[in-house]
Amino acid sequence: MNMQAIIKPLIQKNDTKIVMIVLDGVGGLPVNGKTELEAANTPNLDALAKESACGLHIPVAHGITPGSGPGHLGIFGYDPLECQIGRGILEALGLGMEVRKTDVAVRCNYATIKDGLITNRRAGRIPTDQSSKLTERLQKEIMKIDDAEFTFAPGMEHRFAVRMRFPDNLQPDAAMINDTDPQKEGKAPLPAAALSKNAERVSRIAEKLISRAHEILKGEEKANFILTRGFSNMPHIPNFDEAFGLNALAIATYPMYRGLAKLVGMETPSLEGSVEDEINFLKQKYNEYDFFFMHVKKVDSYGEDGNFEGKAERISEFDKLLPQVLELKPDVLVITGDHSTPAVMKGHSWHPVPVLIKSPYVLGRTSGAFSERECLKGEIGIVPALNIMPLALAHAGRLKKFGA
């Protein structure tokens, strides 16, 4: 029996508020003896950790490096091994695209290619206004390939989404196509190869899309190529309110994370701005919902760029804003990450992620700070990520006793 099946009959509603803040990629590894969390200036997080239940969570399984989708699904209480969702669907939904059973969605990056090799996988993180103009160009030039109709949606910085709409329903494995992103500079892009027989049709069209996009963009200095990631069609996933009895709001500026929240049934208003803008929005909507998911992206971005000091500074910036969240006095406050992104590795990793749960019903005083080493000492221990939601519900008094 899975966790949701255990929880569902135990759900009891009340007027408590749960706030979950996800510092994307917050976990790290030491450089000169300290991780990014340990190097950051975090007096507020550290004080909170001392009076909270702390621990570490495993996003998917020991040794498995998670993508952002599985990482968030786990902390939302869904088993990422059972609910596998392609990144393309998340990006498309987050950008407000309608996705049907006849569609395949894919997330794309603008990239720089020279002499057949990728020299920058993110086209130098070109500004959003510049990439939006390029996406408009692609939309004008590429309306249809074979029997698939194309819709393009600009994202943030170097990202955009593409929806392929087919005239007929697709098999569940029709989107099983290899990512073309080689994940490292200095390598050739990979082919959009079909990983199942039913995916061959989509694969052929994807290859034509990449070729035509390169022909259109070849005169650009930086964004002269596209890399495709996360080909996917619409999955079935239990609704968040039905699963956990929570009316939930997602506060996220990046489309993919809104897409993930929308997929599980959270309200996902479009939002732009800084972390402080996100907190202000949380304040405005605080009386309207039971559960709030707030996403902080830039911690992860600096980790992926290998910028240790920059990642530590983004954590420090959040720490300065944390008192504004505490002023709301949520019944349960969860602070964690969806995965670790050590700057020394320049990417996601399999390392356990720090987690903090603040409520009136914790032991507390087991961790002296919010860091990997201190959370290891905490009362939560090392747990699967999907255990975080049951803990949050229990601390909020939203779970009845199990059994007689």
For residue range 100-121, list pLDDT tens digits in order. 888 999 999 999 999 999 999 9
Question: How far apart (Å, rounded) are the C-alpha atoms in residues 55 and 321?
Answer: 23
CB 302 within 8 A of CB 28: no
pLDDT of residue 171: 82
Whether the Cβ atoms of residue 268 and residue 250 lie closer than 8 Å to each other: yes
Are 27 and 371 contacting, i.e. CB atoms less than 8 angstroms apart?
A: no
Asked if residue 240 and residue 213 are part of one domain, the reply reads: no
> Could you tell me which residues are beta bridge partners of residue 335?
21, 356
Q: Tell me the mean pLDDT in the region 191-202.
A: 94
* Averaged pLDDT, 182-191: 94
- Dist CA 317 CA 340 (whole Å): 19
- Tokens of residue 344, six digits: 């020394």
Cα distances (angstroms) measured from residue 55 to each of 58, 308, 336, 370: 10, 23, 10, 9
State in Å, rounded, how far the first CA of the chain is from the last one: 19
What are the tens digits of pLDDT across the range 349-361?
A: 999 999 999 999 9
In this prediction, residue 89 has a pLDDT band, given cuts at 50, 70 and 90, of confident
Q: What is the CATH number of the domain that holds 245?
A: 3.40.720.10
298/227 same-domain check? no
Q: What counts of helices (H) and strands (E) characterise the chain?
A: 14, 13
Mean local confidence (pLDDT), 135-163: 94
- Rounded to whole angstroms, how far apart are CA atoms 87 and 91? 6
Q: Indicate the residue among 232, 265, 291 that finishes a domain.
A: 232
Distance CA 384, CA 58 (A): 5
Which residue among 232, 251, 274 closes a domain? 232
- Answer with the residue of higher pLDDT: 24 or 255: 24
Question: Does the structure show a pLDDT above 90 at 94?
Answer: no
Give the angle 51-26-292 at the CA atoms, nearest 5°: 65
Total Cβ atoms within 10 A of residue 329 = 9
Does 259 share its domain with 383? yes
1, pLDDT greater than 70: no
What is the average pLDDT across 16-24?
A: 98
Q: Which residue in this structure is represented by tokens 């996800």?
A: 22
Per-residue model confidence as pLDDT tens digits over 204-243: 999 999 999 999 999 999 999 999 998 988 877 889 999 9
| % of the chain at pLDDT higher than 90 | 83
* Residue 378 shares a structural domain with residue 245: yes
Do 246 and 111 share a structural domain? no
Determine the Cα–Cα distance for residues 118 and 318; give it in Å rounded to an integer: 34
Tell which residue, 319, 324, 303, 404, has the closest CA to residue 369.
319
Domain extent for 268: 11-85+236-395
Is the distance from CB of 164 to CB of 99 less than 8 angstroms?
no
Q: Is there a single domain that holds both residue 362 and residue 339?
A: yes
Q: Does residue 1 lie within any of the structural domains?
A: no
pLDDT digit string (tens) for 306-345?
999 999 999 999 999 999 999 999 999 999 999 999 999 9
Number of separate domains in the chain: 2
- In angstroms, the CA 270 to CA 267 distance is 10
* Whether the predicted pLDDT of 303 surpasses 90: yes
